[in-house]
Structures are given as structure tokens and as C-alpha cells.
Amino acid sequence: MMAIQAGDIEGSGIGQIRTSPDLAPRQRRAMGEDPRRGQVLTTKVGLQMPAGMSFDDWEKAGRQLSGIVDSSSWWLGDWLVYGKDHYTDRYQRGIRAAGLQYQTLRNYAWVSRRFDFSRRRSALSFQHHAELASLPHDQQEAWLDRAEQRKWTTKQLRSAIRAAREDEAQVRMPAEPTRRLEVPGSRLQWWHKAAEQAGVDFERWVLVTLDSAAKEALEALEELEKQEDDHGPAEREGTAEPGGPAQSHRPAITA
């Protein structure tokens, strides 16, 4: 059970959460009973709030709970990063013992690695940082500054990034007509995930991936043409199997 008091986890200060063992069934307080004056007690199954709690205290408790939820993403991300770095062969066991979902933790850890502790903005949420994690360092800083100064929500930040990308695409658009490629939504999400995993901008990831595939295809074609040049038609015809088409064109030899 955790006791939350106003001011414990606000701003950039270090929060302290006092914990106590879960009460035995017979020792649990009635839901309407005042657990402690000025405190909200958290349990695995809910909150216990004191009777007669003022609106200001209730509002502060809400901000604290929101801060805990947001901060826990950083905490879990840093926890997994540490485990991966120090217990390479055992950290998966720790995850299972804690009853946590690895995929969720991995997402948290990826954002945590993309932002050093000194670069994280306490005025912005974890999700603000997650929206920018795939961008280069300088662009991350620029967007963090804008979001912090303009007090953007995560949705507003996402919309601003999308609008900026659309403007850049229009500037880079060539004069000749272009074709639009229709891509299923599920595949597009899959590609976005791959780009995030690689830690690069989505558009750049698409270009690099397509260029790489085109290079491999052209190299294979070039190798095939080279083989055909080395083994001309006459030589290829002479190597045909007996009874094959190549032999049917040979002149008959008579005595």
C-alpha cells in the first residue's frame, strides 16, 4: 500500500512514496473510513481517500497520480536498459518474475535509450518524447523546445510534426508528375514499426530500404548478363543435352 501526499511527486523534485504491507483481510479499513488525514492510499484494487477531502487536495492527488503513471514509463524503460546492459543472460528471467510484458518494456527502453537522462524534459510527458524518438538528435531538441514553450499536448505535437513533414514533401516534390502507391494500412504500420526499431525517420527508412533492394536486383541482373557474355550462344548450344533442341540443328554426317 502506498501513501501519496500533496507535493510528493510534483515538478522536478524527487518524489518519495511511503509503502506499507498490504493489510490482512480482517484488518482492512472500510471503504468509507478515513485512512489518514490528508493522504490518499493506493492498493492493487483501488484508492482509499479520506472523508471530507477538499477539492484542492483531490486535484493535487490527481496530478500526482498522473505524474506517477507517466514517470513509470521512464522508470520501467531505464530498468530494462540497465538489465540488458548488466545481466545479458538473465534479464528475461527478471521480467517474467516481475510479471511484466516484454514488448511494452522494450518500447519504453527504446525511448529511454534515445533520450539521455539529462535531455528529458520534466514539463513534457513520456509520450511527448516517444513521438520524437525516431528523429535525429537536433530535430528532437528543436521539437522538444517548441512543445515545451507552447505547452503542446501529445496530440498537438503529433499534428505539428505531420504538418511539417507535409510541407517538406511539397517543397521536395519534383515538377514531373508522380505516381501514388497504394499501400495497405496494416503493412504501413508494419513499416513504421521497422523504421522506429531502426531509429530513423520513416521516409528515410523507406528510401534506404528501396534503394538497397534496387541495388541488389541490379547487381544480380548485371551478374547474369556477365555470365551470358562469358558463355556465348554457340557454347551454350553445344552444351545441350543429347536429343535436345540444340542437337536437332546440327548437320547430318554421311559416309
The per-residue DSSP string of 28-87 comes to PPPTTS--STT-EEEETTEEE--TT--HHHHHHHHHHHHHHHHHHHHHHHHHHHHHHHH-
pTM beyond 0.85: no
Percent of the chain residues topping a pLDDT of 90: 29
Query: Which among 45-59, 144-158, 184-198 has the top mean pLDDT?
Result: 144-158
* Phi-psi region at 46: left, alpha or beta (left = phi > 0; alpha = psi -120 to 50): left
CA 20, 21, 26, 32 dihedral sign is: positive
Q: Name residue 42's beta-bridge partners.
A: 2, 47
User: What pLDDT, on a 0 to 100 scale, did the predictor assign at position 132?
Assistant: 95
Check residues 217 and 140 and name the one with the higher pLDDT.
Answer: 140
- Average pLDDT value for the chain: 76
Q: How far apart are CA 133 and CA 129, in angstroms?
A: 6
Burial of 191 per CB tally in 10 Å (0-12, 13-18, 19+):
middle
- Which of 85, 110, 83, 113 is CA-nearest to residue 95? 83
**pLDDT at residue 226 tops 90:** no
∠ CA 135-136-142, nearest 5°, is 85
pLDDT of 1 higher than 80: no
Q: How many CB atoms lie within 10 A of CB 1?
A: 15
Question: Which grid coordinates belong to 74?
Answer: 521512464
Q: Which residue did the predictor score with more confidence, 24 or 177?
A: 177
